[in-house]
């Protein structure tokens, strides 16, 4: 595949760089074909969100960091897109919060598992769960390949971070009494609605921030983290993201009507 040269003065250079990263990861067997489609959907929501980390997203990031830090057995679930866009941050977050790293793919194949594992090891991971026969346990009432999990990881976890997920597994994990933290630009998705904590933000922006917040919260100690995690209402926070999107659209429509755009 020929790498694309993106002019630095292109008005959407940053977004094009992210796309290019995914395309490269697709040709390296890390990202699924549908991962490219999923990214496009995310981009559309990000556009409406104003392509920045909002106040409700910051709220959810703080709560997510607090929950990971106070969990007994937290796991970060990694799929193709997450590996391509945020492998280093996820490994760092795992080290700060003592979370295990587990590969969980919707479009599971041995080749993809190995490609994602290789990338995670290169990013500094020591132990990568959920590969091959190690994903020997099954999430009940789930028929997709996501049902296959590692008994040492997701199966026995009390908290699971699921960036860019599809709704079924989130619902199934919640049914198993696990706390689910989702990262999803679409506040209307089933994942976003069913998770205990939803960070409505682009993984590319929120992964480094989540890592930074976790590092600073860790210094504040367990009690402070428990307090932060306790007072959170995900429904209300999701509603705030939706209202922000609605307001952004209203502002754009008004500008359009006023002929200023
Ligand atoms: O690697 P695999 O095989 O596990 O497959 C991964 C994908 C993403 C293909 C799979 O999980 C899938 O099909 O997901 P969905 O159902 O398309 O959901 C992905 C969600 O992530 C959508 O709601 C998107 O809006 C959202 N999304 C896409 N890109 C980003 C994002 N959210 C945050 N940051 C992004 N960069």
Which ligand 1 atom minimizes the distance to the CA of 201?
33
Tens of pLDDT, residues 35-63: 999 999 999 999 999 999 999 999 999 99
Residue bearing the CA closest to ligand 1, atom 20:
164
Helix 33-49 / helix 80-97 crossing angle, nearest 10 deg: 70
CA 217 to chain CA mean position, Å = 20
Q: How far apart are CA 146 and CA 172, in angstroms?
A: 10
Q: How far apart are CA 248 and CA 210, in angstroms?
A: 25
Q: What is the mean pLDDT of each run of 10 residues along the chain (261 residues)?
A: 69 85 96 97 96 98 98 98 98 98 97 98 98 96 92 98 90 96 97 97 98 97 95 96 98 89 56
Only one residue has tokens 């210094």, namely 219
CATH number for the domain whose boundaries are 55-241: 3.40.50.12640
How many angstroms separate the alpha carbon of residue 195 from the centre of ligand 1?
15
How many angstroms separate the alpha carbon of residue 166 from the centre of ligand 1?
7
pTM of the model: 0.95
């Amino acid at each position: 595949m020929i790498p694309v040269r993106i002019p630095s003065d292109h008005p959407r250079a940053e977004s094009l760089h992210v796309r290019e990263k995914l395309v490269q990861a697709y040709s390296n067997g890390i990202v699924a074909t549908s991962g490219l489609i999923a990214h496009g959907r995310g981009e559309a929501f990000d556009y409406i969100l104003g392509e920045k980390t909002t106040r409700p997203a910051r709220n959810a990031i703080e709560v997510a960091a607090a929950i990971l830090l106070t969990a007994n057995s937290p796991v970060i679930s990694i799929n193709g897109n997450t590996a391509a866009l945020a492998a280093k941050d996820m490994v760092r977050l795992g080290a700060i919060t003592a979370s295990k790293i587990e590969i969980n793919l919707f479009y599971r194949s041995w080749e993809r598992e190995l490609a994602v594992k290789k990338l995670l090891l290169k990013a500094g991971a020591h132990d990568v769960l959920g590969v091959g026969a190690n994903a020997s346990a099954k999430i009940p009432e789930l028929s997709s390949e996501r049902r296959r999990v590692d008994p040492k990881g997701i199966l026995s976890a009390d908290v699971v971070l699921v960036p860019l997920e599809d709704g079924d597994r989130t619902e199934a994990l919640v049914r198993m009494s696990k706390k689910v933290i989702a990262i999803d630009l679409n506040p209307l998705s089933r994942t976003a609605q069913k998770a205990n904590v939803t960070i409505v933000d682009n993984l590319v922006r929120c992964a480094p921030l989540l890592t930074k917040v976790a590092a600073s919260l860790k210094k504040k100690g367990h009690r402070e983290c428990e307090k932060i995690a306790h007072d959170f209402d995900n429904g209300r926070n999701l509603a705030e993201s939706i209202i922000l999107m609605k307001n952004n659209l209203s502002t754009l429509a008004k500008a359009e009507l006023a002929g200023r755009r």
